[in-house]
Amino acid sequence: MLRRCVLAGLAAVGFASAASPVPAPLRPAHGSSAMSAIPTATTDAVLVKSVEMPEGSIKIEGYDFNNGVDHNALLGSFLASGFQASNFGMAVEEVNKMRAWTLNDEPVAEDEDDELKDPEARKKVKTTVFLGYTSNMASCGVRETIRYLCQHKMVDVIVATAGGIEEDIIKCLAPTYLGSCNPLYPGVGSGFELDGKTLRLQVVFFIFSAIVSCCMSACGIALVKCGHHRFW
């Protein structure tokens, strides 16, 4: 029934189109300009001159790979790429400001300690960087980035959840693997399509899409995780 209605509608539209002459395009009258042929209401609503962009406005422009693969330039181009890339670029700018800041960038307060009135001493006072992360970041590949930041003293304080500490210990004891039964991309997927009961009987546990292939012990305490539930 639906198919017949659609066909009937198309036939009616085709008949109406064939019976009605195609309207000629608007043409200016003899001796008048093209603009005069357009209704005034239309020109007032549409053909309005834009204001000039403020000085210093950032033009949207992405990275040109014809210049080669320059990772620093690629990341630097995100600020002018628009949408979420620009948010990432602004975050990078804030991190750079944070890392470059010293107390010498600030005016000396009247009640400042005498030892901190010396410009060279003020240059040695830098930002105290706090790094916060949740447990899922310890179980995935972000853990290696966190380790690098700590290894090279790029952060001063770590703020982690209990799960973040637990899953870091798990990664120290055994590797985790991508889990999926996707036939097109074996090992790559969400992991949620795997059967939890079968994995449990095989002593295989999953943290979202990360597979832990064995029970692990530390100081005699078994650390086993399945989804959001922890078993001690």
Average pLDDT over residues 160-182: 81
pLDDT at 22: 47
Task: Dump the DSSP string for the chain.
Answer: -HHHHHHHHHHHHHHHHHHSPPPPPP-PPTT--TGGGS-HHHHHHTSPPPPPPPTTPPPP----GGG---HHHHHHGGGGT-HHHHHHHHHHHHHHHHHH-BGGGSPPPTT--GGGSSHHHHHT-B---EEEE-HHHHHSTHHHHHHHHHHTT--SEEEE-HHHHHHHHHHHHS-EEE----SSSTT-S-STTS-HHHHHHTT-EEETTEEE-S-EEETTEEEEEETTEEE-
Query: What pLDDT is recorded for position 212?
Result: 64
The span from the CA of 202 to the CA of 48, in Å, is 70
Range of the domain at 187: 174-232
Q: Are 224 and 215 in contact (CB under 8 A)?
A: yes
Which of 168, 169, 156, 161 minimizes the C-alpha distance to 134? 161
CA distance 194 to 152: 39
The pLDDT, as a whole number, for residue 42 is: 81
Q: 11 lies in a domain?
A: no
Summarised one tens digit per residue, pLDDT across range 66-119 is: 999 999 999 999 999 999 999 999 999 999 999 999 999 999 998 999 999 999
Mean pLDDT lowest for which of 6-15, 34-43, 99-108?
6-15
pLDDT reported for residue 49: 83
Is 134 part of any domain?
no
pLDDT tens string 184-195: 555 555 555 667
In angstroms, the CA 17 to CA 125 distance is: 78
Q: Sorting pLDDT into bands at 50, 70 and 90, what band is 18? A: very low
27 vs 175: which has the higher pLDDT: 175
- Mean pLDDT is lowest, of 14-18, 36-40, 135-139, for 14-18
**Lowest-confidence pick of 46-60, 140-154, 165-179:** 165-179
Q: Is residue 60 part of a domain?
A: no
Using CA atoms of 175, 180, 182, 184 in order, give the dihedral in degrees to the nearest 10: -10
pLDDT at 96: 92
pLDDT at residue 2, rounded to an integer: 45
Tell whether pTM > 0.85.
no
* Model pLDDT, residue 197: 75
How many independent structural domains does the chain possess? 1
Instruction: Label residue 81 exposed, middle or buried (CB < 10 Å: 0-12, 13-18, 19+).
Output: middle
Is residue 99 one of the residues assigned to a domain?
no
pLDDT score recorded for residue 231: 32
Asked if residue 118 belongs to a domain, the reply is: no
Q: Is the pLDDT of residue 148 over 60?
A: yes
**Residue 191: how many other CB atoms lie within 10 Å:** 21
The label of the residue with tokens 């539209």 reads 13
Tokens of 133: 């992360």
CA 137 to chain CA centroid, nearest Å = 15
